[in-house]
């Protein structure tokens, strides 16, 4: 088996990388959803306010965002094998340590350092950046399939964890998840040790600069700054409905079960967008234009949400919003890979994704503060539209600025 895999060409082995990366994200994201599902049980067992496990939830994102830059740099220097192995071990070890936590400081330390900084950091950023290194054609499809692992994790884990909590309690559920995830993720990491034998040169959206054409108007550093601004804008807008759509639905008179179905429709549509639609569009019109299209869909539907009250209209609009936001995430790694030097892929992806986590945090906070001040979600949702408009302006500028200039003609003699 090992000899057969070694003999595979890069073009065939690339799909093994996609499958292993997808499964790593499905399994590794269980640590996030286990905390979401067990938050009430953990707080009750210690007599803590829910702000304690909620802060641990935030620390996981902060640690994962900061650590993603380091893991991306490690990917650029040494390949995906070691980051994947460290992430697999740390996710499993962290879950086991949570099952033995005795006070809130241990809880914070494990989720912030072990699961976040060393565990989650080794998943999304380096896995997606590594995937872009294996593909020139079908790169968008591959990245879309890998990132859909997050959506699958959101559908798969919560009911399983609910069963575990009811049967064994939260400590044993954490212990079982930690051991099982490590037992599967460590062997998966071995499939990621191989690096592509030759990295294609990075250039324009076609991954090569066409001879005779002028250089783009945006340099690498300016490109990074603009992408960081753009991802904050779309992630603020993205986070608002994800965090608050269920509450908004109940506020306008929809029953709690139907309100939960609105959120489910949003997340299901995001999976379809990531796994099927986004990659095909990247292959058809390019990553930047794909980002603009999905960002526009997200902006338009977010602007409609405050004015809808019926469950059917809210669910349909939320599902279309899900199609928009689901198609956004896979585009950024592809844009980075196609427009920045290949040797920077990991660290640049880490930096941009870190700014995306800032945007997600701002959006969730903005929704809560806006509701507390105004008594409804109308103002924060419309503020999200304004943030997303910034994203559209930046991406529109990049589309224009990175368009190849006309060929330079030699003067006639």
What contacts 153, CB < 8 A, 6 or more positions away?
25, 26, 27, 28, 29, 30, 32, 33
CA distance 217 to 101: 53
Does residue 389 contact residue 293 with C-beta atoms inside 8 Å?
no
Cα 353 from Cα 334, distance rounded (Å): 13
Identify the pLDDT of residue 210.
38
Instruction: Specify the pLDDT at position 71.
Output: 94
Q: Please state which of the four CATH numbers 3.40.47.10, 3.10.520.10, 1.20.1290.10, 1.20.1250.20 is assigned to the domain occupying 2-190.
A: 1.20.1250.20
- Domain locations in the chain? 2-190, 220-401
Q: What is the pLDDT of residue 216?
A: 53
Q: What is the pLDDT of residue 126?
A: 93
Q: What pLDDT is stored for residue 206 in this prediction?
A: 37
Q: What is the pTM of this model?
A: 0.80
Query: What's the pLDDT at 48?
Result: 85
Distances (CA, A) of 148 to 200, 274, 295: 25, 5, 18
What digits encode the pLDDT tens for the residues 207-226?
A: 443 333 434 567 888 999 99
Provide the pLDDT for residue 324: 95
Structure tokens at 234: 């779309």
Q: With respect to CATH, is domain 220-401 assigned 1.20.1250.20?
A: yes
Around 332, how many Cα atoms within 13 Å sit in the side-chain half-sphere? Answer: 30
Task: Quote the pLDDT of residue 405.
Answer: 53
Q: If DSSP codes are grouped into helix, strand and coil, which group holds residue 101? A: coil
Query: What pLDDT does 277 receive?
Result: 92
Residues of the chain predicted below pLDDT 50: 200-215, 407-410, 413
Given this chain, do its domains 2-190 and 220-401 carry the same CATH topology? yes
Res 213: pLDDT: 40
Alpha-helical runs (H) found in 117-192: 124-134, 139-167, 170-190
For residues 364 and 224, give the distance between their C-alpha atoms in angstroms, rounded to a whole number: 25
């Amino acid at each position: 088996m090992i000899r057969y895999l070694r003999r595979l060409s890069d073009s065939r082995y690339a799909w093994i990388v996609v499958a292993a990366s997808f499964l790593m994200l499905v399994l590794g994201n269980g640590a996030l959803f286990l905390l979401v599902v067990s938050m009430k049980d953990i707080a009750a067992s210690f007599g803590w306010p829910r702000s304690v496990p909620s802060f641990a939830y935030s620390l996981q994102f902060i640690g994962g965002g900061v650590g993603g830059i380091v893991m991306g740099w490690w990917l650029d220097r040494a390949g995906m094998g070691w980051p994947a192995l460290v992430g697999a071990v740390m996710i499993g070890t962290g879950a086991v340590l949570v099952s033995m936590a005795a006070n809130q400081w241990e809880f914070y330390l494990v989720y912030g350092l072990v699961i976040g900084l060393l565990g989650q950091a080794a998943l999304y950023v380096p896995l997606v950046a590594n995937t872009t290194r294996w593909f020139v054609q079908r790169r968008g499809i591959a990245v879309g399939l890998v990132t859909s692992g997050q959506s699958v994790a959101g559908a798969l884990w919560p009911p399983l964890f609910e069963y575990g909590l009811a049967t064994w309690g939260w400590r044993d559920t954490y212990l079982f998840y930690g051991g099982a995830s490590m037992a599967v993720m460590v062997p998966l990491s071995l499939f990621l040790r191989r690096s592509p034998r030759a990295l294609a040169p990075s250039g324009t959206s076609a991954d090569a600069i066409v001879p005779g054409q002028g250089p783009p108007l945006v340099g690498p550093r300016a490109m990074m700054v603009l992408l960081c601004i753009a991802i904050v804008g779309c992630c603020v807008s993205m986070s608002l409905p994800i965090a608050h759509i269920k509450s908004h639905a109940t506020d306008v008179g929809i029953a709690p079960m139907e309100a939960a179905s609105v959120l489910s429709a949003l997340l299901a549509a995001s999976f379809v967008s990531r796994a099927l639609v986004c990659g095909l569009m990247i292959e058809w019109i390019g990553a930047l234009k794909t980002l603009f299209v999905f960002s526009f869909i997200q902006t338009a539907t977010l602007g409609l949400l405050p004015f809808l009250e019926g469950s059917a209209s809210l669910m349909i609009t939320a599902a279309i919003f899900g199609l928009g936001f689901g198609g956004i995430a896979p585009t950024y790694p592809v844009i980075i890979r196609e427009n920045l030097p290949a040797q920077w892929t990991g660290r640049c992806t880490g930096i941009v994704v870190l700014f995306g986590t800032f945007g997600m945090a701002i959006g969730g906070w903005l929704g809560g503060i806006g509701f507390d001040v105004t008594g409804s979600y109308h103002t924060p949702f419309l503020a999200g539209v304004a943030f997303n408009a910034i994203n559209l302006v930046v991406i529109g500028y990049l589309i224009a600025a990175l368009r190849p200039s006309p060929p330079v003609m030699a003067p006639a003699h």
